[in-house]
Structure 1
């Protein structure tokens, strides 16, 4: 008897705002729905909440697990230095002109995908309200970082399979 088993999508794993509060409780349970779900998040206790969602494929380029923006690859890029970049994510707050701690997925031609993090900014003195804003921004940032990590893991695995298929020539 043959079974046609379809691979399952990994869970979304997003957590509700305030999950980082110490102690046990349902506020710490992650979303158990598929990473591709839309609508509200749901935990194992069937509690729901709104929040950030996984990133959809952003371009026709399939590199980086569908996260390549297409801005620097293919016919738009420099043919001498082909590179794939995912969308840039960072902490967007009112007291800084540019996002803080931005990161993005990156893959140079035939190299293993990486997570590129820019860490050259300065930190201003923050008011209590700005600290609260920063905490909310970190919730979104860590959610996007978790999703980017999953895309990176899949892209690395796909690259390894492709490399093995070519006898390690990539």
Structure 2
């Protein structure tokens, strides 16, 4: 199955999940994330604003604020497939962008150095046991992580996890994958930044 077909298949399966099942999964994912050693150690969290059926990140952002952490969110530049990170202090700093995304409004937000991110929450549609992922197809995160080899984690529903995915040399796996039932520490896991 091609990456495109697999992406579409899993998106349909996520859409078909019952609301009560999704909520139960989300509570367990959040609980695992917020009690993780890397979350506890981190002062600055990098995270995208979720859209559609992605794991909701608003609760993650609110918990980070509650714990006094800084939250950095990306603004994508579709002309060169790069991301610039901005400090998010309230949701009023966001504006509608392409593909229905919510991104920081540069006139209301402050650019922040991405190398100050202690733990990056990397989005995706499908993941494998080695930490490789199929995202939305833009390649933004692989490009970004090639320049900034940060400590990374992805969160997903069980149906988003497969045994292995085809990957290319430029694909960068995440360090951890958290599902409602397990924490996978991938072979590529690096030591958390002190």
TM-score by length of 2: 0.24
Higher helix share: 2
More strand by share: 2
Which is greater in Rg?
A: 1
How does the TM-score come out when normalised to structure 1? 0.26
